[in-house]
Structure 1
Amino acid sequence: MPMFVVSTNVAKSEVPAALLSEATEELAKALGKPAEKFAVHVNADQMMMFGGKGDPCAICSLTSIGKIGSDYNKQYSKLLCGLLNKHLGISPERIYINFVDVDATNVGKNYTTIG
């Protein structure tokens, strides 16, 4: 159920499909979870400013059942900032990422919850 959601002011036409597939593959490795369970969502063309400037920026969240915390988050931050810089040209200094650890009973799927 891991989810990576990106909101960015980068134009949709500038978002390559490779970002979504690479994020899925790399996050699956980093979290040790199957790629088939991952969801990646990019909200492009958002009206956003970061530090009072309209340069490319992103606000993100990485949500997972477990594998979130001080032992992991710096690694994820490095990975995700690198991907957003590589594919969207966003400076890592203009990216915020929230890491969210959820209980399996708080995630719904297929008419029920995961836990």
Structure 2
Amino acid sequence: MPTLRLLTNIDIAPEARPALLARASRRVAELLGKPESYVLLILEPGRDLLFGGTDAPAAYVELKSLGLPEAKTPDYSNALCAWLGEELAIAPERVYIEFAAPPRHLFGWNGTTF
């Protein structure tokens, strides 16, 4: 159930989105050590974002996963910021990341919960 939601003020051409999503899906699976078949990506480009009083390239990211180890969130932050820099030229100081590890009984899938 790893889920990555990426909101950015960068416009991403519709034809470039599938490849970006595929790269992000692989990256999240590798980062968390989870099967890619469970990874969900939500991309919201071209959003109205103002960070630090400027509309320079920025991103808000949510990473949710069952059992997400809190001790590894600094590593995940570093990896995600590096990836956003490579992919979208967003500086790390222009990224906020929210990490969440929902309880298994509060996350549903396939007509049940985990």
- CA deviations on 1:77-97 (whole Å, 9 max, x unpaired) are 111111111111111110000
Kept in 2, the 8 Å contact 1:2–1:65? The answer is yes
Q: Would you identify which runs of 4 or more consecutive aligned residues in structure 1 move more than 6 Å?
A: none
Give the Cα separation in 2 of the matches to 1:16 and 1:85. Answer: 16
Kept in 1, the 8 Å contact 2:68–2:100? The answer is no
Give the Cα separation in 1 of the matches to 2:18 and 2:51. Answer: 25
Percent identity, aligned pairs only, is 34
Pairing of 1:21-100 with structure 2 (within 5 A):
21-69=22-70, 71-100=71-100
Give the Cα separation in 1 of the matches to 2:98 and 2:69. Answer: 10
Please list every run of 5 or more consecutive structure 1 residues that lacks an aligned counterpart in the other structure: none
RMSD: 1.5
- CA deviations on 1:51-106 (whole Å, 9 max, x unpaired) are 0000010011100001230x211111111111111111111110000100111111
Kept in 2, the 8 Å contact 1:5–1:40? The answer is yes
Please list every run of 5 or more consecutive structure 2 residues that lacks an aligned counterpart in the other structure: none
TM-score (norm 1): 0.90
